[in-house]
Amino acid sequence: MSADRYAVVGHPVEHSKSPWIHARFAALTGQAVQYDKLLAPLDGFVETIARFRASGGRGCNVTVPFKFEAIALATAVSDRARLAGACNTLRFDGTSVYGDNTDGVGLVRDIEQGAGRAIAGQRVLLVGAGGAAAGVLGPLLQARPAGIVVANRTVAKAQTLADSHAALAAQAAVPLQACSLDALQALGAFDMVVNATASSLAGDAVPVPASVLRPGSLAVDLMYGAAAQGFLAWARRHGAEPRDGLGMLVEQAAESFAVWRGVRPPTSSVLRDLRALLQGG
Ligand code: ATR
């Protein structure tokens, strides 16, 4: 039996761990899946997808910088992708393209199951209001925390992100508030702080005051590897429990696999082995 073909499409894509993760999922579930990396030219996302479909591709993950082009290309999208305004998962169904976003559910699963911390009833701070933050806010609201504050350097973007999620927040009965980074000083400590900014990539310091943490707060960076280390060390220094984005990476992949195959792969051994691989290498 020949394997069904999937891929991660991005620019750059060379360092993606997704082929390794999906190979493990395929082995663990007994699914005949082949998963590759596809480098698309910056001005050639649509053509790259068209070629991949024509050659038999069944679906793909989409990463930086194409998640917005991916939602434009989809002919039907999930509610969570619509709220995020972006797709990280496409499934090719004959002539139609189903678009989904599994990033937020991946984060929620990693916090609740990976870190073993219930989000319900907790005060959550989401730092950042770009694409990464937009991808996770909806599923965080659906996990019914006591409240979410979205803080961003450019406060207008935080407000726009909160406004676009106001209906969901009301439906979930979760107070949702936007503020500037400076305003955080007055808001006290949070149970969970999620860093969805790109500040570490720019080599900048952690953009929030230490007063947002208390001993035992969970401090999650959506990145992993070197990019996450500044935030995680800062969290550790202030008595918080640091967690990088590797668990979210594995969980979003598992959700994408389920969207394509209708089968949910187990994740804990995959995360453990991936962490060991990265630390060894
Ligand atoms: P991504 O897709 O990774 O979210 P993005 O859409 O460019 O990338 O968003 C980057 C986020 O990081 C934004 O919230 C940005 O703040 P602004 O909206 O004010 O630009 C935030 N960010 C980037 N560098 C930062 C820094 N040095 N300090 C604080 N926030 C920063």
The predicted-structure confidence for 2-28, as pLDDT tens digits, reads as follows 899 999 999 999 999 999 999 999 999
pLDDT per position as a tens digit, 90-145: 999 999 999 999 999 999 999 999 999 999 999 999 999 999 999 999 999 999 99
Phi and psi angles of residue 279, each rounded to the nearest 5 degrees, phi first: -70, -35
Say which of 17, 37, 67, 157 is annotated catalytic. 67
Indicate whether 1 pLDDT > 70: no
Q: Enumerate domains of the chain plus CATH numbers.
A: 4-101+247-278 (3.40.50.10860), 104-244 (3.40.50.720)
Average pLDDT in the chain: 96
- Quick one: pLDDT band at residue 199, thresholds 50, 70, 90? confident
User: What digits encode the pLDDT tens for the residues 201-247?
Assistant: 777 778 899 999 999 999 999 999 999 999 999 999 999 999 999 99
Residue with tokens 């394997």: 3
For 91-100, write each residue's pLDDT tens digit.
999 999 999 9
Q: Which amino acid residue places its CA nearest to atom 11 of ligand 1?
A: 197
| Residue from 60, 62, 58 nearest 2 by CA | 58
> Does residue 281 surpass a pLDDT of 70?
no
Our CA angle for 159, 163, 166, nearest 5°, is: 135
User: Strand, helix or coil at 200?
Assistant: coil
Ligand 1 neighbourhood includes 152 CB (under 6 angstroms): yes
- Residue 204 Cβ inside 6 Å of ligand 1? The answer reads yes
- Ligand 1 proximity of 184 Cβ (cutoff 6 Å): no
Instruction: Map residue 1 onto helix, strand or coil.
Output: coil
Give the DSSP per-residue string, 202-238: TTPPPSS-GGG--TT-EEEES--THHHHHHHHHHHHT
CA dist., res. 165 & res. 126, Å (int): 13
User: Ligand 1 centre from 51 Cα, in Å?
Assistant: 33
Q: Residue 108 and residue 121: Cα distance in Å, rounded?
A: 14
Roughly how many angstroms between the first and final C-alpha of the chain, as a whole number? 34
Q: Is 157 a catalytic residue?
A: no
Q: Which of 107, 153, 204, 206 to mutate to test the pocket of ligand 1 (most atoms within 8 A of CB)?
A: 153
| Ligand 1 atom with least separation from CA of 154 | 19
Distances (CA, A) of 149 to 33, 111, 161, 232: 40, 18, 11, 20
